[in-house]
Amino acid sequence: MTKKIALFWPGDARQKPNELALPNITEATVQLETALKKLGRQTYRVEGFLSKPHESIEKLGPIDDPMIGVCVHWFYGPHTCDGVAGKDNPLLLASNFSGRWPGLVGLLNTGACLEMLNRPFSRVWTSSPDFSKDSAFMDRLAEWCETGKIKYGESQIAYGGPVSADAFARAKRVAAGIRQRKPLFLMLGDTSMGMINGYFGPRLLHSVGFAEHKIDQAWIIDRGKRIDEARIDRALAFVKEKGITFHWGEKDAEDFDERATREQLRDYLVVLDLLQEFKADGLGWQYQLGLIPLRPPSDLAEGLFNSTCRPESNGDTIATATEADQGNLVPMEMMKRLLKDKGLHQAVMFHDVRWGAEHDGRFLWVLLNSGSCGAYAFNHDPNTLKGTHSYRQPSLYFPTPGGSFAGESLPGKMTWARAYIKNDVLWMDIGRGEVVKLPPKVRDEWWEGTTRQWPFMAADMGISQETLMAHYLSNHVAVAYGDIFDEMVALSQELGFRVRVLSGQ
């Protein structure tokens, strides 16, 4: 590999997050430059944040030298992918490991986008404030400098595997139901913020037995004008009576009031009507970024749809993926059906893989996404919304006031999954683990160190930190309480997914 290396800053499309990240990304870049100099490499910087796809095309496209993307905050996949797709010069995504500054989240999302485009890349990360003093990081960086790639062990990855006879029979039964009446997803827009890895399209969806129907999000605004105010009155009375705590008018949330929640319930009712009109089974809701200045956040509605206890409920959840992410929506619908068939509660939670740390001898991940976690995680009671809190979504990202759907997830055994595109076909990652109850002090440190307004889950995902960071192909994950691991492996294989089992056992 050549001695000269280009460093670039993949960015958010919004100016303010990039401005806030500037001190951290500058420091991380200096750390990388120092580390690379110790390895005998010369570096130069691509000017400024890449905050639009054309900037990636114009600034990265002409570069044939090896490149390193500096990942220290949330950024959009196309702001790297569009400039490097179709090229084969060595590419490395180098991330911090921070909950407050989620470069690892951006790395995981952009890595999945690159994988979808069949663009080779490598990844490396460190939590050390001095990169050069992290020996594992330096060894991996040296490997990339010499070979143009970094290889990580796969001892915790298997491809398929045996399942029990009961699990196989249950999977066959659920698969038969899917084939008898193909599940239909109502898609309110495409994936948000450049998450191209989360959009599969009709060809791949139909190959595994699912269908989609797209609805323009403008319908939410138009139809919302015709929602009867009495329905909103009843919906608000319902969520209050069932136990949601609304944090209206608190510090830094003075503009968050009952009116904002009513508008969120208006959107919930619009989408509920659309789901019924099109007889859809699941929901992908883009929301960001187009609706941000026009409508309150979709998170309250998403959390309600992922709960059996909700206004005008038919007794079922409606599997709902925030950011219109089909990579979570597909396994959520599959897991829901398996849970019901097994006599377990059907709720499946949507989360970000946000950050993690050692606690009590094992590595735990903070799973934290703004709104697509149902109330069952907080109370294990399908008939209530108790334990759910609605805080004003941070105004930096959500200028129109509205609340989240948050709470502390209860402990219990869990199964997790994620679908993604690799080598132009659909794959499914599947694992089992445990949701853990942390001591209050640790919980609060971790929660405050990420985003306190969002639902919190501390989870042992059954694999090492390195396995997830090195191999996982998303920043999102679907989580269900209960053991449906064998059933999910069997159902994924039956429907035609390639399967990776991620397990430390």
| pLDDT single digits (tens) 248-292 | 999 999 999 999 999 999 999 999 999 999 999 999 999 988 899
Omega within 30 of 0 (cis) for the link into 289: yes
- Identify which has the larger pLDDT, 221 or 3: 221
pLDDT at residue 331 above 80?
Answer: yes
Alpha-carbon distance 175 to 169, whole Å?
10
pLDDT tens for residues 110-129?
Answer: 999 999 999 999 999 999 99
Q: Look over the chain and give the mean of its residue pLDDT values, rounded to a whole number.
A: 96
CA-based end-to-end distance of the chain: 37
* Whether 388 contacts 246, CB under 8 Å: no
* DSSP code string of 380-449: S-TT--TT-EEPBPPTTT--S--B--B-BPPPEEEEEEEEEEETTEEEEEEEEEEE-PPPHHHHHHHHHT
- Identify which has the larger pLDDT, 60 or 160: 60
Rg (CA), the chain: 22
Average pLDDT over residues 423-448: 97
Distances (CA, A) of 289 to 107, 217, 388: 20, 11, 25
* Whether 138 contacts 156, CB under 8 Å: no
* Whether 319 contacts 281, CB under 8 Å: yes
pLDDT over 90 percentage in the chain: 93
Average pLDDT over residues 397-407: 95
Q: Which two tokens stand for residue 137?
A: 């990081």
One-letter amino acid identity for 430?
A: I
Q: Which two tokens stand for residue 359?
A: 């606690």
Report the predicted TM-score, pTM, of the whole model to 2 decimal places: 0.97
Cα 12 to chain centroid, rounded: 16
Average pLDDT over residues 201-225: 97
One-letter amino acid identity for 162?
A: P
Please report how many Cα atoms fall inside a 13 Å half-sphere around the Cα of residue 26, on the Cβ side. Answer: 7
pLDDT of residue 396: 86
Alpha-carbon distance 191 to 420, whole Å?
13
* Whether 489 contacts 365, CB under 8 Å: no
Q: Which two tokens stand for residue 62?
A: 């002409």
Three-state secondary-structure class, residue 188: strand
User: What confidence tier does 190 reach under pLDDT thresholds 50, 70, 90?
Assistant: confident
Alpha-carbon distance 72 to 23, whole Å?
10
pLDDT at residue 191 above 90?
Answer: no
Cβ neighbours around 92 below 10 Å, total: 24
Q: What is the DSSP letter of 313?
A: -
Distances (CA, A) of 49 to 19, 26, 60: 10, 11, 12
Q: Which two tokens stand for residue 26?
A: 């500058």
Alpha-carbon distance 300 to 372, whole Å?
8
Cβ neighbours around 227 below 10 Å, total: 18
* Whether 417 contacts 462, CB under 8 Å: no
* Whether 478 contacts 328, CB under 8 Å: yes
373 φ/ψ sector (left φ>0, alpha ψ -120 to 50, else beta)? beta
pLDDT at residue 505 above 70?
Answer: no
